[in-house]
């Protein structure tokens, strides 16, 4: 118990002292995970909306693949992305291995199925007649898509929260494709693992507390936006 308390105190000290190393780790964590979730929203929301609305053969099979994707183990994602980005890999020519961009790619792969699958479910939960009503109001197909996404925005925000929660807290993929390089690819999760392995439990707990606070702050912001829409 004392260890945890010391860790919390250490976290407060590290934050308020403006420790450069901690600041770098926090900003890298935020930059990587927010970039990844933004890409997931840009790709996953249209894809989930399309999958939720379109009628095509094998629709259920595609839906099951997207749903399976929600449970992808980050270590496996890290391994596959590392193999792809490795010097001799398929995308080795990009030269992004051990950079924040590689971590963004890996985190996008982890969160994209979550955002897509939950958006698909959100769109499918809407009354099917809404689509006809929007078209009957004279909308184009794009306007209809946009209005349906707006109508499902509470669930899509929940998808965003779930996706962000999954990537801000993952460690395996970030470690494998980022390499935990100080000032470049070290994020809160990889730093916590490293400090624990070195026996610096107080620092590790402090980093864990900061990670939790960070995840909570972002999620709180998204939740406030989400709940604002539920109040009359």
Identify which of residues 19 and 151 has a Cβ nearer to other proteins in the complex. 151
Kindly state the tokens that stand for 135.
Answer: 């078209």
What value, to the nearest 5°, has the Cα angle with vertex 169 and ends 13 and 115?
135
Residue that the structure tokens 């270590």 belong to: 75
- Per the rule left: phi > 0, alpha: psi between -120 and 50, beta: everything else, 36 is alpha
CB of 115 to other proteins, least distance (A): 20
Q: Residues 34, 53, 62, 151: which binds other proteins (CB under 8 A)?
A: 151
Question: Is 74 within 8 Å of 109 (Cβ atoms)?
Answer: no
| 125 contacts other proteins (rule: CB under 8 A) | no
Q: Residues 67, 124, 139, 223: which binds other proteins (CB under 8 A)?
A: 139
* C-beta neighbour count of 226 within 10 angstroms: 18
For residue 64, give Cα distances in angstroms to 61, 68, 113.
5, 6, 11
Q: Choose the stretch contacting other proteins; rule: CB under 8 A; options: 10-18, 48-56, 107-115, 133-141.
A: 133-141
| 133 contacts other proteins (rule: CB under 8 A) | yes
Q: Choose the stretch contacting other proteins; rule: CB under 8 A; options: 77-85, 92-100, 128-136, 209-217.
A: 128-136
- The residues that touch other proteins, with contacts defined as CB under 8 A, are 127, 129-130, 132-140, 143, 147, 150-151, 153, 229, 232
């Amino acid at each position: 118990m004392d260890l945890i308390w010391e860790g919390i105190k250490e976290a407060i000290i590290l934050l308020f002292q403006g420790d450069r190393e901690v600041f770098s780790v926090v900003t890298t964590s935020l930059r990587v995970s927010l970039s990844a979730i933004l890409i997931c929203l840009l790709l996953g929301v249209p894809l989930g909306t399309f999958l939720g609305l379109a009628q095509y053969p094998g629709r259920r099979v595609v839906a099951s693949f997207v749903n399976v994707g929600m449970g992808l183990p980050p270590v496996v994602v890290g391994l596959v992305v590392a193999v792809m980005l490795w010097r001799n890999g398929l995308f080795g020519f990009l030269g992004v291995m051990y950079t924040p961009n590689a971590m963004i790619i890996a985190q996008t792969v982890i969160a994209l199925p979550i955002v897509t699958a939950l958006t698909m479910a959100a769109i499918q939960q809407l009354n099917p007649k809404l689509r006809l009503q929007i078209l009957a109001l004279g909308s184009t197909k794009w306007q209809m898509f946009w209005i349906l996404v707006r109508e499902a925005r509470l669930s899509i925000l929940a998808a965003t929260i779930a996706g962000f929660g999954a990537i801000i807290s993952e460690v395996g993929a970030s470690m494998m494709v980022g390499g935990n390089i100080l000032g470049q690819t070290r994020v809160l999760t990889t730093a916590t693992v490293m400090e624990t392995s070195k026996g610096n439990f107080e620092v590790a707990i402090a980093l864990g507390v900061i990670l939790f606070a960070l995840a909570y702050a972002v999620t709180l912001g998204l939740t406030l936006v989400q709940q604002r829409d539920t109040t009359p």
